[in-house]
Amino acid sequence: MPDAEQVDQVPVDTGRITLDRIAAVIHVQCSGEAIARSGHAFELREAGYPPVIYVPIADVRPGVLSDNPATSHCPHKGDARYYDVTVGDQALPNAAWHYPDPRPELAAIADCVAFYPDPIVIWRE
């Protein structure tokens, strides 16, 4: 979970990106199985893209995420690393990502992960 100093920086509005704490419990499910539940998630909105929910990695069920060598760069967020998501016999390559060292204004998501929405389902309680 992000430390208190990082969370105190939220909400963030850079003009292109906004980051807000979510005042609800977030559930993440894959193949009918719960893979994460968090009351400490964030919603990131970036101009031109749908909103993305970031969940603390500590709130993801152990064994679901495995490192993937893929990387990408966003000039507004930083360098992303990817995870494969495995649930039962189903392995989804590059199904999740995180920014281990995001731009300073987005430090709150450093220990968080986001999931691609299909076939992963995310909802608010």
Q: What is the CATH number of the domain that holds 40?
A: 2.170.150.40
Query: Which of 10-14, 40-44, 53-57, 116-120 is least confident?
Result: 10-14
Contacts (Cβ under 8 Å, ≥6 apart) of 2:
40, 56, 107, 108, 109, 110, 111, 112
Residue 4, pLDDT above cutoff 80: no
Which domain, by its residues, includes 80?
A: 4-124
pLDDT of 9:
63
Contacts (Cβ under 8 Å, ≥6 apart) of 91:
84, 85
pTM over 0.95? The answer is no
The number of domains in the chain is 1
Confirm if 95 and 85 have CB atoms less than 8 A apart.
Answer: yes
pLDDT of 37:
98
Cα 109 to Cα 1, 82, 101, 104, 114: the distances in Å are 9, 14, 9, 10, 9
Residue 8, pLDDT above cutoff 60: no
Per the prediction, the chain carries an average pLDDT of 91
